[in-house]
């Protein structure tokens, strides 16, 4: 029951933020990768935690970061609006996908949100 309640809260909190944002897709490494860009300034890349999505992890933080940064929020393979494809998902592959999306990793800060202590 607790998990169902948490899921309901996550869905309801993402409805408003999804309605206001028009995301984009990029073809990287054979994957149709969903991402959003918000704000202007020094780039900041946001990568959600495992089993999550942009609205679930960043609906509160994204507007705050976008006041001072160009925020690039990414939904990784098999998460959110990025579909799964027939390949093994590894941290290395996710990093390659993000690097391919950015094309230039200079002056980019990466913040990976997860619920573990890793």
Identify whether 100 is part of a domain.
Answer: yes
Query: Is 47 a member of any domain?
Result: yes
- Quote the strand ranges of the chain, DSSP E: 24-28, 31-38, 42-47, 69-75, 109-112
Question: What range defines the domain where residue 72 resides?
Answer: 2-112
76 vs 12, 50, 90, CA distance in Å? 21, 9, 11
pLDDT band at 103 (very low <50, low <70, confident <90, very high): confident
Q: What is the CATH number of the domain that holds 91?
A: 3.40.50.1820
Percent of the chain with pLDDT over 70: 70
- Domain membership of residue 58 (yes or no) is yes
Q: Is residue 117 part of a domain?
A: no
pTM: 0.72
Average pLDDT over residues 73-101: 94
- 118 falls within a domain: no
pLDDT at 115: 58
Number of structural domains in the chain: 1
pLDDT at position 36 over 80:
yes
The reply to whether 48 falls in a domain is yes
Read off the pLDDT of each residue in 16-27 and give the average, rounded to a whole number: 70
């Amino acid at each position: 029951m607790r998990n169902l309640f948490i899921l309901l809260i996550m869905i309801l909190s993402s409805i408003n933020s999804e309605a206001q944002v028009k995301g984009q897709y990029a073809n990287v490494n054979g994957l149709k990768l969903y991402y959003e860009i918000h704000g202007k300034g020094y780039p900041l890349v946001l990568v959600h935690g495992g089993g999550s999505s942009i609205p679930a992890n960043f609906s509160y933080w994204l507007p705050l970061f976008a006041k001072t940064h160009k925020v690039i929020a990414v939904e990784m393979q098999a998460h959110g609006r990025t579909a799964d494809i027939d390949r093994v998902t590894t941290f290395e592959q996710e990093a390659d996908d993000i690097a391919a999306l950015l094309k230039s990793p200079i002056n980019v800060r990466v913040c990976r949100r997860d619920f573990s202590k890793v």
